Amino acid sequence: GDDYSNYRFGLFYIPFFVIFALSAILVGLTMRYTYQVIHQGVSENKDKHGTYQFKLVNYIIVFLICWIFAVVNRILNSLGHYPYAINLLHTYFSVSHGFYASCVFVYN
């Protein structure tokens, strides 16, 4: 069969990275806003805003850890590289995302 890695990058990874970047920007803006609210004394509920920021960061960290190996693995596979360690981490973390997200949910 023909190699369709260019289509994969163009139709999947480029929109994925755009959405991922926009999400990261929005999370950063939200964290900046809550940081300003906490440290500039705008709100009386500093503990509530701190808890909100902590919860937000936990979910994002779990998402990044669980899916970064999948993205790296797919990019390397499309370039013709098949490293065992990345493949193993991709397999483990991609199926464990729900478990770790539920752990964060219970912890929060």
- The predicted-structure confidence for 30-74, as pLDDT tens digits, reads as follows 778 877 877 776 667 777 777 777 777 788 888 888 888 988 888
As a whole number of angstroms, the distance between CA 90 and CA 16 comes to 17
Whether the model clears a pTM of 0.75, i.e. scores above it, the answer is no
Q: Can you point out the beta strands (E) in 5-97?
A: none
pLDDT-derived band at 28 (thresholds 50, 70, 90) equals confident
In degrees, rounded to 5, the angle at the alpha carbon of residue 21 between the alpha carbons of residues 104 and 58 is 15
Q: Given phi > 0 = left and psi -120 to 50 = alpha, else beta, which region is 41?
A: left
Q: Taking the CB of residue 15, how many other CB atoms lie within 10 A of it? A: 10
Number of domains in the chain: 1
pLDDT at 90 over 90: yes
Range of the domain at 36: 5-107
Task: Provide, rounded to the nearest whole percent, the portion of the chain with pLDDT above 90.
Answer: 13
Mean pLDDT of the chain: 82
